[in-house]
Amino acid sequence: MKKNQQDEVKGKQNPDEGMQQPRSASSQSVVQQEEASTPSEGAWDSQLSNCRSELRILIVDDNALNTRLLGAFLKKYGCRNIQKAENGAVAVETVKKHSECFDIIFMDLSMPVMDGFEATRETRSIEKERNFSRLTTEAPTAAVIFALTGLASDRDEEKAYAAGVDFFITKPVRFERLEHVLKQYEDGTLWSSRNRSG
């Protein structure tokens, strides 16, 4: 896989036709590890804003290492409202228990019990019942769902969009790229940046 494809955030209008299937979709780490070892939490200080963020975030991944690293990154960014789910079924129950939707959901697609495709469909169904709106800045807004996945085929990407995923990010992921999209969400430019990429 080419380096510039590894951390690309892709909106529905801009599928990457040259992406190849990773070696192991289910165990692929969320972190870029091919060129360097996994960084310690302190090593991220120079890259992150260390601001206080009120974003409500749900991490859905059956890989405990991925969940721990992504959670540590988000805390370094300044997020304090973070919840975690080890599979899609737990994620759906977590969404049901919250009357206010999450701002962002980082969703793995390959998981036992319930995969990320079905969990995304169930989440969108719950949001629809609650009259949450997608692709809008008007409240109440639905969660922005980022697929963080080792699945990289065009078929998997289109299946993810059809399920209700908003952005498709292939693993391994660079944390500076995630920091960028978090800032875009907070300053209201996330959707416009996706539209420009199409």
Per-residue pLDDT tens over the stretch 62-96 = 999 999 999 999 999 999 999 999 999 999 999 99
Please tell me whether the peptide bond between 22 and the residue prior to it is cis, using omega within 30 degrees of 0: no
pTM: 0.74
Domain regions of the chain by residue span: 23-30+51-197
Computed over every residue of the chain, the mean pLDDT equals 78
CATH number of 23-30+51-197: 3.40.50.2300
**CB contact at 8 A, 73 and 30:** no
pLDDT of residue 37: 34
Residue 139 identity (one-letter amino acid): A
Length of the chain as a residue count: 198
- H or E element that contains 55: strand 53-60
Residue 194 identity (one-letter amino acid): R
The stretch 182-187 carries a mean pLDDT of 92
